[in-house]
Structure 1
Amino acid sequence: MSNSYFNENTLEDLMKEIEYVYLSDNRPWIIGYSGGKDSTVVVHLVYTMLLQLDPQKRHKPVYVVSSDTMVENPLIKEYLSDMITAIGNAAKRDKVPLTCKLVQPDPSNTFWANVIGRGFPTPRLNGSFRWCTDRLKIAPSGTFIENIINKHNSEVVILLGVRKDESITRKKRIEDREIIGKLLNRHETIKDAYVYPPIVELTTEDVWDIISSNNNIAAWGTSNSRIIELYAGADSGECPFAGVSSKNEQTQSCGQSRFGCWICTVVKEDKSLNGFIRSGHRELIPLAEFRKWLISIRDIEANREKKRRDGKVYFTPSGKIGLGPFTWEMRKEILTRLLRLQEQINYELITIPELKAIDKIWDDELDLTRLELVNLYYDVTGKKLPWHDLKKPLFDIPTIEKLSNYAEEYDVPIDLVKNLIFVTTKNKHFSNPKILRGNLEKSLTQQWLHASVLKELEDED
């Protein structure tokens, strides 16, 4: 194979390097494991090294951490869960100091809590508000790493399955962070962490060669046939994994697919999701259709507020007021369709803790009845949420109707009326009245209430 790492080195050389780094100090290791081919190879190599190592030298723990965004492709989520369980059980059986952990975003900070609860517009590739990766992946993993640092009162070494061969952009990023002649680099954001990329020089073909070695059996004992099938399926069956039995045969690699969230709105086309559908997973069609619909509603003005969540406004180059979060009506529509989809495919797409978090957000910001979400859930599913019967409205329906009528009669925005009520409710029990007054003043001076004046001032400039 051209430009292969193994043209000049051997697998034994790589194993010796991994062992050398492991034995060099007492810093715990943390492996980022996504279930993809690269991270699979990293776990496989480290597990193999630990098995081969004298038990007395297995002196420090290795943590395998996987991030479940809670909107993973169902096929990948099931596979990842199975592998985490299998690796963890095997480690106990083989008495190697390796433990597995699956981390998730907090229920109040998941994809649906932000889109349906707070109304965040769905992320886009070139958008200025691409909020998903940090909240769904980086933050949960970062919290776990910080906990390990605190637990051991020590720096840690993070092993990543990054490779220069993946793309020119990735190659440049890796090389920009390299300290020539050193195997470890400082982590960009975690001060007590270093990064070790053991397979950084491997090609895609090298990776698949390792996965297919030993009759496709991973170091912990499970078959790698499943990951090969997933990559082939994600490439819509056009990428069968094949070895080379003679130099005249063509090798096909399944290395170009990337697994991601089924609802990902950053990419124009979810190639892996559509690939799985084309390769026979027809059960995923409703997910693809929902994703397409969610993207289609993002930039429709009627679906979006004309202010940001903090009440600020901005103007587009054409002079129009910019779009903010999804309207409450649109958020209810998204939730309704999501729950119907969940019922249709009989697969959990939004969890009960997420629904509780969304309910709390709506209670604090939008819903004077405090019954909208529980009633919506009951109407769609025919089932009550665990806290349904405990909900009490802030005001009864006749009072809310009077507030709306008064707001219309005196030309006061109903959103302002509701905001003042919510602020008062949240702050009225503070012993210092300045806190309540200060928050009321903030509500009354938010930019959206004075958008026309701001536009005039901007035009004058």
Structure 2
Amino acid sequence: MFDEYSKIKDEMKLVYLHDQRPWMIGFSGGKDSTLLCQLVFEMIESLPEEQRSKPVYVVTSDTMVENPIVKRYMHRMSDAINKASSRKKLNIQAHIIYPEIRQTFWSLVIGLGYPTPEPPGFRWCTERLKISPSNAFTYNTIRKDGEIVILLGVRKAESAARSRSISSHEIEGKILTPHPQIQKAYVYSPLVDIPNEDVWSYLLRDHGKSAWDTDNNYLYSLYQGEQLSEEDSVVGQVNKDNIKVTGNSRFGCWICTMVKEDKSLKNFIDHGSMELIPLRDFRNWLVKLRSDPEARDYRRRNGNVYLMSNGEFGRGPFTMKTRKEILRRLLQLEVDTGFELITIDELKMIDKMWEDEGDLSRRALVDIYSQVKGKKLPWDGYKKAKYDSETIAVIQTLCEKYEIPFDLISKLMISVDNTKFYTRSAISAKSIEKIFNEGWLHYETIREGLEDAD
């Protein structure tokens, strides 16, 4: 019944023993990457121990906004793979990779006010949360080992578009193909001809026991009748600008704002995961918030402004008031659900970002955390205000009296404070000059000049 899989494992063995180039598998926890790992486990376990010298890296991407149910599963699988590999001496290493703290979803949305991703073209999340972390791991491995072979769990049967993409990158008569974007990386796709129905047949045989002693019946239950294919890639994408395969959770991010309705969250809830309802409600609120002009600044992050066709100013990042509200609601969501939805490291990064954005009190984030959580952050005691509330109130009053934007003055004060210890005065001067050159300060003057010229 499983003759095709025996042939695949024989071919895997041939490729594995051919050289010492390490293998890398993008493991999403979905059915295709699970099948791929299962076959690799079984193939290596069939080899004598002295031939298991080639390292195999099983890489799982945690975007830090994964569906909590799927996230637990992914981490549990990574731990189980490492334990089974160590026990069986297979030289398989499971790794979980994360985006840089400065580039996480919440650091960018709450810290810097990035508007949430929006179709069709405003998709800043994929590159930062998925592709960059995986590329960093891949390039580090190549620097260490010289070359690498990336195994993909992609199958032609997944979809017509994916089938065309795979076929366009095949080289007749070659098992390995050069990676289209990454030098010194080669792609090996052993599952391309496996039909959909055969995937579950293999994974659920032997009562669903996986090669690392977990239960594939639980994985089957996570699919719950969905007909969706595996989600976008983190490791070994075939075409960065088109279709991406294997390596990220097929269930997607719980906070995804690229779709009108999150079908994955809905499907989990419809099948009994009622604890996800508050997450869905928060996500829906955040989608609507993006369209609220009062929630957005009229200036872009570089200080420029622009007019839309209706004559109104276009919108830029979320205002600081809005960011504080997002954080407050997110922390309350953690309290209500018991899920960890934002990490301490992210909170620390956002705290620093808010200081640089003009929070003269330096207390905004730690106070919000304390009010919602009923406890203090580890660095709360060190957060002393640069200026007390009375001084800030006086500055605001003077700004109103002389019609000077308060956020301009606060930015200048922060800039001076951040550069006051530099021995070269040019650094401080350059920082101040950059603020004074922001487009919003000069828009009216430029507009009047253009009108006069006409």
Q: Compute the TM-score of the two structures, normalised by the length of structure 1.
A: 0.89
Counterpart CA distance in 1 for 2:447 and 2:137 is 46
Instruction: Tell me what 1:74 maps to.
Output: 68
Assess if the C-alpha contact under 8 Å between 2:28 and 2:250 holds in 1.
Answer: no
Partner of 1:207: 199
Contact 1:235 1:271 in 2 (8 A): no
2:225 and 2:368 map into 1 onto residues whose CA distance is 37
Distance in 2 of aligned mates of 1:323 and 1:176: 41
- For 1:169, the equivalent position in structure 2 comes to 161
Structure 2 residue ranges without an equivalent (≥5)? 229-248
Q: 2:383 aligns with which of 373, 381, 391?
A: 391
Mapping of residues 47-446 of structure 1, within 5 Å: 47-127=41-121, 129-152=122-145, 154-232=146-224, 258-446=250-438
Structure-2 separation of matches of 1:31 and 1:85 = 15
3-state SS, counterpart of residue 101 of structure 1: strand
Please report how far the alpha carbon of residue 415 of structure 1 lies from its aligned counterpart in structure 2 after TM superposition.
1.7
Which residue of the partner structure matches residue 250 of structure 1? none
Preserved contact between residue 234 and residue 276 of structure 1 (Cα < 8 Å): no
Do structure 1's residue 34 and structure 2's residue 31 form an aligned pair? Answer: no
Match of 1:391, as an amino acid? K
Which residue identity does 2:77 align to in structure 1?
Answer: M
**Cα distance in structure 2, aligned partners of 1:323 and 1:216:** 52
CA contact (8 A) 1:108 1:357 kept: yes
Secondary structure at 1:297's aligned position in 2?
helix
Percent of counterpart pairs with the same letter? 48
Q: 1:215 to 1:418 in 2, by over 3 A?
A: same
Change in CA separation of 1:189 and 1:415 when aligned onto 2, cut-off 3 Å:
farther
Q: Give the whole-Å Cα distance in 2 for the aligned partners of 1:189 and 1:408.
A: 54
5+ residue gaps, structure 1, are: 237-256
> Aligned residue for 1:18?
12
Separation in structure 2 between the aligned mates of residue 443 and residue 24 of structure 1, nearest angstrom = 59
Distance 1:415 1:179, change over 3 A: farther
Structure 1 pair 18–319 and aligned structure 2 pair: CA distance change class (3 A)? farther
Taking a change above 3 Å as real, the CA distance of residues 211 and 392 of structure 1, as seen in their structure-2 partners, is same
SS at match of 1:102: strand
What is the distance in 2 between the residues matched to 1:202 and 1:234?
A: 19
Q: Secondary structure at the match of 1:123?
A: coil
Q: Distance in 2 between matches of 1:434 and 1:44?
A: 60
Once the 2 structures are TM-superposed, how far is the Cα of residue 170 of structure 1 from its aligned partner? 2.0
Match of 2:241 in 1: none
Q: 1:246: which partner in 2?
A: none
Q: Which amino acid aligns with 2:357?
A: E
Is the 2:23–2:55 contact (alpha carbons within 8 Å) kept by the matching residues of 1? Answer: yes
**1:336-390: CA deviations, max 9, x gaps?**
1111111011121111111111101001112000001101111111100110011
Q: What is the Cα-based RMSD across aligned positions, in Å? A: 2.2
Equivalences, count? 433
Could you tell me how far apart the structure 1 residues matched to 2:291 and 2:56 are? Answer: 45
Taking structure 2 as the reference length, what is the TM-score of the superposition?
0.90
